[in-house]
Structure 1
């Protein structure tokens, strides 16, 4: 079942800050950190599961398999990327029902043409506005619970400009989207315009190295945003740590103090080994 806490936070004016997770270690560690939500990033999930770019190559089944496991193993409400809904209107209905059944609390759907591209890369094209409005209507009609939130994203800013992005955001809200996501605004002034002109809870994508300025949660809330995701912080920090650790091992033939490692005992705890050991004591007589 969707977690009502995000809808409640939006109603109360509380800010929702969500780190990006992309596989089970990142999800389990983030789950213990006390965030109000976790964000299953498409970029990171496709990269970790398939070793491929986020360019429409992952299928609905690829994503649902990973998302289902993340929801099953964590206690924090999950916001999940669903790209374009993986096809036409019937696919959108199927995707909404599947994500909700998997335990997702908020689904993100976007107006890109298929195959989609990462929102902070060039050459993105969007479908006609009326096509995306129909997708939102289908999504709203096919959810089982009102606590399952529909986040409607437009990628029109980069190719068509901020005026068109705001026009679409307004139309998405009128179509029934619970949260509006204007992807990759290019300045704080543009972000202020989005907040001033779209009457709906707003979603900010804080991508390290992306097109949008990185702002604090406090500043985003001050501007009028309700939710911020940091989708890349997990896989970018992991990539930096792994590159450094593997280089250290290659150079020295062993792990040196130059590399900071996660405590092995703590990792055992995160993975749930204490429960395994208690089980063995009770049943296996070890």
Structure 2
């Protein structure tokens, strides 16, 4: 139903709903959704939470994931995803967009936009994707200060501390940083770019009773594991951050190549979402029913292809 109807809106904050999801048995599965349409499709597939990746946001804007975008640009994505899906959303907060006060501003802005959780990382700007080389880290104390600031600014939104130390300073340093971040107020820990089952299991063993997040990104340092496998290793959340964007981008490249080759898109029709499917996904008729001045749209019949 349309988000315009008050009865369709959640009665609890996104943060409370995100926390409640973590209290359930099993692992919380959060596919990446890079826009409102993707968010609806993920919800319709049965997911009850989503992830908004900084890499997906920047790539969709034609930019690299180097900490270039601003808080206000991210809140635009948060609002459309939360509004369209109604689901609790974990948001990539990069390095917090500055120091302690900037982090607090980010947390308040994201929570007001409808985010249920945000993760903050311990890289130095310009940051890089967690599975790339050449990362540099802030001091553990500086990051702990940011985590504490984020916690002070939060109302219900969960604060997830990400550490990239495993690939920079070593596994033990990553564990030490994670413990410090928990002491500073982090609700969960995101150990980035672990690359063996043993590392995942050892990290979980080193931080018992702390919700841990696993990043199942493609083309990175982490081998492919299923949600059930991550759960067995001791993880409570798993994300697939850029998968939806990768699939959409690949499909678009094939479309443009076909138009350039064939002088039209006719060869790609079978790979397209139909007009009827689009209207069903976005709930066009439900919106039309809210305003009697709008004549109900009749979906044109498909034109036979020559």
Which whole-Å deviations, capped at 9, do the CAs of 1:58-94 have from their partners, x for residues lacking one? 1111112221222222211111011111001000111
Q: 2:259 aligns with which of 249, 255, 261?
A: 249
TM-score (norm 2): 0.87
| 8 A Cα contact 1:13 1:226, kept in partner | no
Q: Match for residue 43 of structure 1?
A: 55
TM-score (norm 1): 0.93
**Pairs within 5 Å for 1:188-227:** 188-199=197-208, 200-227=210-237
Q: Structure 1 residues 84, 130: closer, same or farther in 2, change over 3 A?
A: same
Give the distance between the partners of 1:73 and 1:170, measured in 2 at CA.
36
Q: Match for residue 191 of structure 2?
A: 182
Give the distance between the partners of 2:255 and 2:270, measured in 1 at CA.
6
**Pairs within 5 Å for 1:56-75:** 56-75=67-86
**SS of aligned partner of 2:293:** helix
**Pairs within 5 Å for 1:131-210:** 131-145=142-156, 148-199=157-208, 200-210=210-220
Q: 1:24 aligns with which of 24, 36, 42?
A: 36
Count residues in correspondence. Answer: 282
Report the CA distance between 1:275 and its aligned residue: 2.7
Which whole-Å deviations, capped at 9, do the CAs of 1:7-34 have from their partners, x for residues lacking one? 1232333310111111222222223222
Give the distance between the partners of 2:295 and 2:173, measured in 1 at CA.
67
**SS of aligned partner of 1:21:** coil
Q: 2:122 aligns with which of 111, 131, 136?
A: 111
Alignment of 1:79 with 2:79, yes or no, is: no
Report the CA distance between 1:284 and its aligned residue: 4.5
Give the distance between the partners of 2:295 and 2:68, measured in 1 at CA.
48
Unaligned runs of 5+ in 2: 1-12, 297-306
Q: Structure 1 residues 235, 165: closer, same or farther in 2, change over 3 A?
A: same
